[in-house]
Amino acid sequence: MTAAAQSVGALQEALRTHSRVLPRGAGTKSALSVPADGVTSLDLGGHCGIVDYDPAELTFTARAGTPVREVETALSAERQHLPFDPPWRDATLGGVVAAGTSGPASYRHGGVRDFVIGVDFLDGTGTLVHGGGRVVKNAAGFDLPKLMVGSMGRLGILVALTFKVFPRPEAWTTIRAQSADLESALEQARHLARGPITLDALELEPPGRLWIRVSGPPRTLAPRCERLIRMLDADIERFDGHADARIWSAAREVAWAPAGAAVVKAALTPSRVATLDAELVVAGAARRYSRAATVAWIAWPPQRSLAELDRLLGRHGLTGLALTGPAGSGLLGARTGGAFAHRVRRALDPDDRFPEV
Amino acid sequence: MSLPLLLEGLASLFPPERLLTGPAELAVYESDALTSFRARPPAVVLPETGEEVVQTVRLCHEHGVPFVPRGSGTSLSGGSLPLQDGIVIALNRLDRILRIDPEESIAVVEPGVINRRVTEAAAEHGLLYAPDPSSQSVCSIGGNLAFNSGGAHCLRHGMTSNHVLGLKAVLPDGEVVRLGGESLESVGPDWLGLFVGSEGLFGIALEVTLRLVAAPEAVRTVLATYANLAAAGDAVARIVADGLLPVAMEIMDKLAIEAAACVVNGIPDVPALLIVELEGERALVDADAERLDAAIAASGALEARATEDPAERVEIWRGRKSAFSAVGRLSPDYLVQDGVVPRTRLGETLAAIERLSSERGLRVANVFHAGDGNLHPLILFDGAEPGALQRAEDLAGDILRLCVRVGGSITGEHGVGVEKLAYLLELTPPEDVELMCRLRRAVDPAELANRGKALPVADEAMSA
């Protein structure tokens, strides 16, 4: 069943009249937004629009159903941007926060958890509550904005969000560095991550290809790229202007994932990439290692069950989250939070109105 | 609740020299950096291992006795103020850096480790632990975590919460949990993000995994002087409008400068002072420096001096970071406030504070993180003068209400503690407080962990 809501009142009404609900934004992440039987899908797509944006404050507030694309257009006009370039530009802000998805540029300044500073949400009792605020620093009360990051619509229904934003770089350029194998590419990534050059993105396309993006005043780019190239032992190609933009636009749309595959992200650390990758190769999964190999993006083949990936990640002590593909609980592999998670969830949703985390 | 039974249990857990019950030994623990609040606890324990902390918390839970976790006691909001009917768990002896892993750029430390020790240990590997509260040479990581401490450089680096990747913690009933991990990425609900900054209400961190970043290649600090505070504020607005992203932008007013000059040499005697710092890759710092210099020149600075010399930079920051304690040279007592306002409302807020200050007849020194709108008005008073503390507290209240009225917050980095609890209740919608109390009681039904801080305890909430 589906219910659409364009106002907080309508959302509260829907929460009152349906026994179990799951919010949905634009539906770009089917694994998290398609409800199970007996759960009503609450469509927030109509609850959209930027509520407040003062460029001098470097913050904006928007309704949860606002598409990322709309926000980026507004910010871009003021030479600002969301520095973590959330994947899937058709996604809504609420969906980005609820899924906790950050794109390649989160390498430089951090991910969605580092930029969301205020949330308004409905808890499981239908009460509208607020966390954080509209100022960039706020230590009053629990950090509910962070808790909502990755909450998958299962701890509350996001209604409005406030983000801090940053000035948009004047220009970008991209270097593709091709190494012989995974080991050598990982070594170069590590070298760059510890090095002096400020990178916007550092993505590893296994086995041996690194995508490196830098930004800044246009006249700094050429000498910095030369310096960067001197640090690398690989075949180099450089992309500017439209070519650069196309590469990252495709990366944000996860265009590399084969059609039908379930896209899963998993948290990891660089030293764990090699052993994980070997198993993913055997399973026939396409993958990218993002943010200097601290997050794996895995395209799990449709002919394999996610239960298999759940076990695989579990064996490595890694936690994953299915974003696209079949509807499910979302989380895969090792779980953290234990009793703390259980108690917090019970406080936010005492009557089990949202699906299990 | 049975305090005697708890003390009996603790006596079997700790040798006498680590279970303090004598008045002289306890006196040290009566207050933290918010010295106007004092309470003598019946006992202080000094655990040396995480397991001892867990056992202590379990005993407190069993006997229904509240506990106050304490790091270095530098809280400016009374975050580690003891209770007369609860024990203090002093975590200073859990001071081991368990692991520095330069390959993964992480440090795993115990809660009693001093902030600066992490910075120094990271520096040996060319890495940086970014959060730098003014008290960094004495404050502990556990306290930083509990209060989500900031610092001058959080303008670009973020707060403590942006640098904590994972932790092992004991909940208020003695259950041990792990939150987060070692990755920069978090997956699923950010339980860790909720725990950080909860002012000790959710339990005690036993092991903390911190994120380290590559140390910057270049750091350039600019010290600019102004004829008045408004001009310094305008310079900050100009820098932001120009699209620059410094790591720090700090302002000190005349009184704060006067105070700092008592303890640090070479501070210019001017009405207002602006510190702006750029850091990062050499080519980017150089490019930004040109624009920054132009913005400052256009802002009507009396004088501007830029330096990359480490010794000079240390001196500039020493002047800034000593300002709090140096105010003690100008006045027998002072209250430090921590309100936040939207950046664009800084000018009017400072003018309003000046007005309030003269109305109440109390001097206010201003030292603040101008880049993120976080004010630190220092209200000077003489506690020996009858009614002076009350007038200072009234003025502090006026300032906090003002911050909230313009869309800000009552605290940016010091936390609510005991000091701002009344203002939290006055200025936060009741349903938001109710939800936070519900979360707290779900984790700690008996409200044993740091009772009386950050949130009202159950019966107070009813009557509020």
SS3 track for A268-302: CCHHHHHHHHHHHHHHCCEEEEECCCCEEEEEECC
Q: What is the pLDDT of residue B459?
A: 62
For tokens 């008592």, the residue is B262
Q: Which residue of A has its CA nearest to B416?
A: A140
CB contact under 8 A, A56 and B237: yes
> Above 90 in pLDDT, residue B186?
yes
Q: Which of B186, B336, B404, B433 to mutate to test the interface with A (most CBs of A within 10 A)?
A: B186
Q: Are strands A2-4 and A40-43 parallel, antiparallel or unpaired?
A: parallel
pLDDT higher at A285 or A357: A285
pTM: 0.97
Q: Which token pair is B378?
A: 């220092």
pLDDT for res A357: 87
pLDDT of residue B463: 40
Q: Which residue of A has its CA nearest to B215?
A: A196
- What's the pLDDT tens digit per position in A15-47? 999 999 999 999 999 999 999 999 999 999 999
Mean per-residue pLDDT, A208-223? 97
Rounded CA gap, A85 and A78, in Å?
16
Q: Is the bond into A207 cis (omega within 30 degrees of 0)?
A: yes
Nearest CA in chain B to A199: B281
Residues with Cβ within 8 Å of residue A349, at least 6 apart in sequence: A123, A124, A154, A155, A156
Do B340 and A220 make contact, defined as CB atoms within 8 angstroms?
Answer: no
Residue A269 to residue B340, Cβ atoms within 8 A: no
Beta-carbon separation of B244 and A134 below 8 A: no
Nearest to B442 among A148, A294, A346 (CB): A346
**Average pLDDT score over residue span B434-444:** 98
A319, pLDDT greater than 60: yes
Residue among B147, B158, B282 minimizing CB distance to A114: B158
For position B235, what pLDDT does the model report? 93
Do residue B161 and residue A295 have CB atoms under 8 angstroms apart? no
B287 and A220 within 8 Å at the Cβ level: the answer is yes
What chain A residue is nearest to B244 in terms of C-alpha separation? Answer: A167
B179 to A140: CB separation less than 8 angstroms, yes or no: no
Distances (CA, A) of A52 to A49, A73, A98, A163: 9, 14, 21, 11
Task: Quote the CA–CA distance of B424 and B160 in Å, as a whole number.
Answer: 22
Residue of chain A minimizing CA distance to B127: A194
Nearest-CA residue of chain A relative to B412? A138
**Which residues 6+ apart lie within 8 Å of B229 measured at CB?**
B251, B253, B271, B272, B350, B366
Mean pLDDT of B124-129: 96
Question: What count of residues does chain A have?
Answer: 357
From B57's Cα to the closest Cα of chain A, the distance in A is: 16
**Global ipTM:** 0.97
Question: B368 vs chain A: nearest CA distance in angstroms?
Answer: 13
Strand partners for A119: A131, A161
**Neighbour tally for B266: CB within 10 Å:** 10
Of the partner residues A127, A146, A219, the one whose CB lies closest to the CB of residue B194: A146
Average of per-residue pLDDT across B86-100: 98
Judging contacts by C-beta atoms under 8 Å, the chain B residues touching residue A168 are 243
Place of tokens 């324990």: B45
The contacts of residue B385 (CB under 8 Å, 6+ apart) are: none
Distance CA A334, CA B31 (A): 42
Residue B464 pLDDT: 38
Q: Cα–Cα distance between B376 and B412 in angstroms, integer?
A: 9
- Contact predicate A65/A48, CB 8 Å: yes
Query: Which residue in chain B is spatially nearest to A147 when comparing CA positions?
Result: B190
Q: What is the mean pLDDT of residues A148-172?
A: 97
CA proximity to B142, closest of B171, B119, B173, B164: B164
In this prediction, residues B357-362 reach a mean pLDDT of: 95
CA distance B265 to chain A (A): 31
Per-residue model confidence (pLDDT) at position B362: 96
Q: What is the dihedral of CA B306, B311, B317, B322, to 10 degrees?
A: -140
**Of the partner residues A111, A135, A331, the one whose CB lies closest to the CB of residue B408:** A135
Whether A56 and B441 lie within 8 Å, measured CB to CB: no
Give the mean pLDDT of chain B: 94
Q: Where are the alpha helices (DSSP H) in B203-250?
A: 229-241
Single out the residue of B359, B357, B316 nearest to residue B334, CA to CA: B357
Min distance B97 CA to chain A CA atoms (Å): 20
The confidence score (pLDDT) of residue B462 equals 42
Per CB-CB distance under 8 Å, the chain A contacts of B373 are: 135-137
Q: How far is it between the farthest Cα atoms of chain B?
A: 69
Q: Inter-chain contact A336–B180, Cβ cutoff 8 Å? A: yes
Phi, psi of B83 (to 5 degrees): -115, 150
User: For chain A, what percent of residues have pLDDT higher than 70?
Assistant: 100
Q: Between B3-13 and B50-63, two packed helices, what is the crossing angle to 10 degrees?
A: 160
Mutation pick from B159, B435, B444 vs chain A, by most beta carbons of A within 10 Å, is B435
**Residue A121 forms beta bridges with which residues?**
A129, A158
* CB–CB contact A142 B194 (8 Å): yes
Alpha helices per DSSP H over A100-204: 106-109, 112-115, 144-148, 182-193
Q: Which of A64, A86, A41 is nearest to A158 (CA)?
A: A64
Which residues lie closer than 8 Å to B397 by C-beta, 6 or more apart? B423
Residue A3: which pLDDT band, with cuts at 50, 70 and 90? confident
Contact (CB<8Å) B214/A111: no
> Which residues of chain A make contact with B243, given a CB cutoff of 8 A?
79, 167-168
Q: Please name which of B220, B234, B221, B222 lies closest in space to residue B300, comparing C-alpha atoms.
A: B234
Burial of residue B4, with CB atoms counted within 10 A of its CB: 0-12 exposed, 13-18 middle, 19 or more buried:
exposed
pLDDT at B322 over 90: no
Tokens of B33: 């950096």
Residue B461: per-residue pLDDT:
43
Candidates B103, B165, B187, partner chain A, best to mutate (most A CBs within 10 A): B187
- Strand (E) or helix (H) holding B385: none
* Confidence at residue B35, expressed as pLDDT on a 0 to 100 scale: 87
Strand partners, A55: none
Residues B368 and B353 sit within 8 Å (Cβ to Cβ): no
Residues of A in contact with B162 (CB under 8 A): 110, 113-114
Q: For residues B173 and B202, what is the distance between their CA atoms, to the nearest angstrom?
A: 10
Give the pLDDT mean for B196-207: 98
Per-residue pLDDT band at B89 (split at 50, 70, 90):
very high
Of A155, A198, A269, which is closest to B284 when you measure between CB atoms? Answer: A198
Q: What is the pLDDT of residues A48-68, one digit of tens each?
A: 999 999 999 999 999 999 999
User: Given an 8 Å threshold on Cβ–Cβ distance, is B214 in contact with A344?
Assistant: no
Which residue in chain A is spatially nearest to B409 when comparing CA positions?
A138
- The distance of A169 to chain B (nearest Cα, Å) reads 9
pLDDT of residue B324: 81
Facing residue for B429 by CB, picked from A130, A269, A343: A130
For residue B21, give how far its alpha carbon lies from the nearest alpha carbon of chain A (Å): 33
Nearest-neighbour CA in chain A from B304: distance (Å): 24
Q: CB distance A113–B190 less than 8 Å?
A: yes
Per the CB < 8 Å rule, is B287 touching A344?
Answer: no
Residues of A in contact with B175 (CB under 8 A): 338-339
Which of A169-173, B196-200, B258-262 bottoms out in mean pLDDT, i.e. has the lowest? B258-262
Q: Do A137 and B197 touch (CB under 8 A)?
A: no
> Residues 6 or more apart from A323 whose CB is under 8 A from it?
A29, A31, A32, A99, A101, A262, A263, A264, A265
Q: Are A225 and A218 in contact (CB under 8 A)?
A: no
Give the whole-number percent of chain B exceeding pLDDT 90: 89
Share of chain B above pLDDT 70, in %: 99
CA distance B127 to chain A (A): 8
Would you tell me the crossing angle of helices B430-443 and A338-348 to the nearest 10 degrees? 140
Nearest Cβ partner for B177 among A138, A194, A339: A339
What is the mean pLDDT of the segment spanning B331-339? 93
Q: Which residues of A touch B442 (CB under 8 A)?
A: 343-344, 346-347
Calpha distance B14→B59 (Å, rounded): 12
Amino acid B323: pLDDT = 85
How many Å lie between the alpha carbon of B273 and the closest alpha carbon of chain A? Answer: 22
Q: Does A144 sit within 8 Å of B374, measured CB to CB? A: no
AA letter at B303? E
- Does residue B381 register a pLDDT over 50? yes
Residue B424 token pair: 């939290």
Q: What is the mean pLDDT of residues B126-153?
A: 94
pLDDT of residue B60 exceeding 80: yes
Q: Alpha-carbon distance B319 to A243, whole Å?
A: 49
Tokens 């995480």 correspond to B50
pLDDT for B325 beyond 90:
no
pLDDT number for residue A118: 98
Among the residues of chain A, which ranges form H helices?
Answer: 8-17, 30-33, 68-76, 93-99, 106-109, 112-115, 144-148, 182-193, 218-231, 241-252, 273-283, 306-315, 338-348
pLDDT tens digits along B288-303:
999 999 999 999 999 9
> How many interface pairs between A and B have CB atoms less than 8 angstroms apart?
261
Q: Closest by alpha carbon to B53, among B5, B106, B89?
A: B89
Decide if A127 and B441 are in contact by the 8 Å CB cutoff. no
Whole-number Å distance between alpha carbons of B247 and B275: 11
Q: Least CA distance to A146: which residue of chain B?
A: B193
B6 CB-near residues (< 8 Å, 6+ apart): B59, B60, B62, B63, B65, B87
The beta-carbon neighbor of A340 closest among B159, B443, B454 is: B443
